[in-house]
Structure 1
Amino acid sequence: MRLSKVLVVTSLVLSAIVTNAYAEEALKMELQANKIVKNNQGKFTTTAASNAKSGEVVQYRATYTNTINKPISDVAVTLPIPGNMTFNGVANPATAQATTDGKNYADMPLMRKVDGKLVKVPLSEYKALRWNIKWLPANKSADVSLNTVVN
């Protein structure tokens, strides 16, 4: 699937995932996908992700803006991890919860029992991340992001 199609599908899915009906009307979401590259000085910069290739890092960043004149609180927002990408473990804010099934979320790193021992779930099994925006004042914005690697 081409990255541009993934961005459109992801944007449509994200628009429908705000969990509070009141907040759904109050929040405007803007999604950006940027490739993260190291420049000649060794610093990381971002460029448009439309030409990202296998093995490159793409950051999905969603900005949620409260469009009403009242604060909103306790809103869960979710960013799905596109099917042709693998989460690389970098999320901002780091308080994100993750899921492997799209229904059950838990703090990262996700853990499971294997042969009676608790082990980390591979990042390749993560399907989405969720953040709880505790408080968003009127006409202010909050950003969340996750980094992925193109498969």
Structure 2
Amino acid sequence: MDISKIIFLAVGIILVFLLVKVINKVFKMIILLGLIALAAVYGFFYFNKINNISDLHEKYCANISDRNDSLTCFYIVAPLEEELHTQYSENALKEMSSEKFMVALSRAVIARSSEISTNLKKNNAYELLTNFKKEVGGLDSLLRKDNQ
């Protein structure tokens, strides 16, 4: 083997080693940025989402002086709370994971939809149900899955 082939092989090995090292650093950086982005998205949705029945009551029934909040509280939240309490104990509702709570809430909306719709139509406020489904994170998509 002549000297030029040995030098070419040595340079090739060094270049491959450096390339692997750079790719490794870039890959680690991409994974780190991905984890940070995932944590940020999860945190945003976790803190802006209704996670249990007390969050639901606090969001819609705390300010009854507002017409929309009072109608939402009396004609949407109250029947849903009643439906959830017929299916689960107070303790079970408090300890329920947010995913399981959203599934239970979507079932309660389906079970009480005729009552809720009738009451809201009487008060010319049917759009509140649509707004409620959009505001409660994930409920709208769960209801679409249940109806399919």
Larger helix percent: 2
Relative contact order: is structure 1 or structure 2 higher (C-alpha 8 Å, sep ≥ 6)? 1
Larger strand percent: 1
Report the TM-score, using the length of structure 1 for normalisation. 0.29
Report the TM-score, using the length of structure 2 for normalisation. 0.29
